[in-house]
């Protein structure tokens, strides 16, 4: 086969290179696994606001990846043209949650594997990934980081609040301290000993403490 033969093809040859049964099977499986990815994303979502459009995008992305890779594998010329076409696409949607990147790569990888004909790998791999994500993302633990905000009226109240916080938490690290003429505002990152949060009630009842707030956060402190 010469270099010229590689780039010599016709429209009918490209159509018959992939059977109708293979097309239907790959697209149906892509849809099915895409739905699985969608439900796992919905089940494990831990962000601030759930986006249903992103979930639907995962289904579409799985099917589109399968469609594109099946087309690319049948024709060298088409694959080069596809690379050129995709190189001018600019995606400007920001990924706000790190876990969303895993779902995007999962959808794309499934599409590539299905189009390559490795159906058992796509099915088994997707089931295994789904189980791992559901187990680890939904795993409940009291070791999650929290932010405690305390407003004190004087230095004595600040010392009492800090001692009380030390007694009821495994770890406490001060993140910021704001002092004004008549108050002190403290921000602590804490790790709880258990799921019991009643210590905040006792903390706010201390003399000189005007209020205490416990907030869960994702580990990215905004000072």
Enumerate the domain spans of the chain: 3-137, 145-216
What pairs with residue 169 in β-bridges?
A: 192
pTM: predicted TM-score of the whole model, two decimal places: 0.64
Helix (H) or strand (E) holding 79: helix 76-87
Strand-strand pairing, 169-179 and 145-152 = unpaired
For the chain, what is the radius of gyration of the CA atoms?
27
- Comparing 84 with 120, the larger pLDDT belongs to 120
Domain 145-216 CATH assignment equals 3.30.70.260: yes
Please determine, for residue 2, whether its predicted confidence score (pLDDT) is greater than 80.
no
The pLDDT mean for the chain works out to: 80
| 195 secondary structure, DSSP code | S
Residues 52 and 35: their CA atoms lie apart, in Å, by 13
pLDDT tier at 132, thresholds 50, 70, 90: very high
């Amino acid at each position: 086969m010469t270099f010229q033969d590689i780039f010599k093809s016709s429209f009918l040859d490209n159509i018959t290179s992939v059977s109708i049964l293979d097309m239907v099977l790959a697209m149906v499986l892509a849809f099915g696994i895409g739905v699985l990815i969608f439900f796992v994303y919905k089940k494990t979502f831990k962000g601030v606001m759930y986006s249903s459009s992103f979930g639907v995008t995962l289904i579409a992305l799985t099917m589109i990846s399968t469609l594109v890779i099946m087309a690319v594998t049948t024709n060298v010329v088409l694959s080069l043209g596809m690379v050129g076409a995709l190189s001018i696409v600019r995606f400007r949607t920001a990924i706000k949650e790190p876990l969303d990147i895993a779902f995007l790569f999962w959808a794309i990888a499934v599409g590539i594997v299905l189009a390559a004909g490795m159906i058992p790998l796509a099915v088994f791999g997707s089931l295994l990934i789904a189980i791992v994500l559901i187990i680890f993302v939904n795993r409940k633990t009291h070791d999650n980081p929290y932010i405690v905000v305390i407003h004190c009226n004087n230095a004595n109240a600040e010392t009492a609040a800090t001692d009380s916080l030390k007694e009821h938490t495994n770890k406490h690290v001060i993140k910021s301290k704001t002092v004004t003429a008549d108050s002190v505002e403290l921000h602590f990152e804490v790790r709880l000993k258990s799921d019991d949060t009643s210590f905040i009630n006792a903390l706010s009842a201390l003399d000189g403490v005007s209020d205490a707030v416990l907030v869960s956060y994702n580990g990215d402190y905004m000072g």
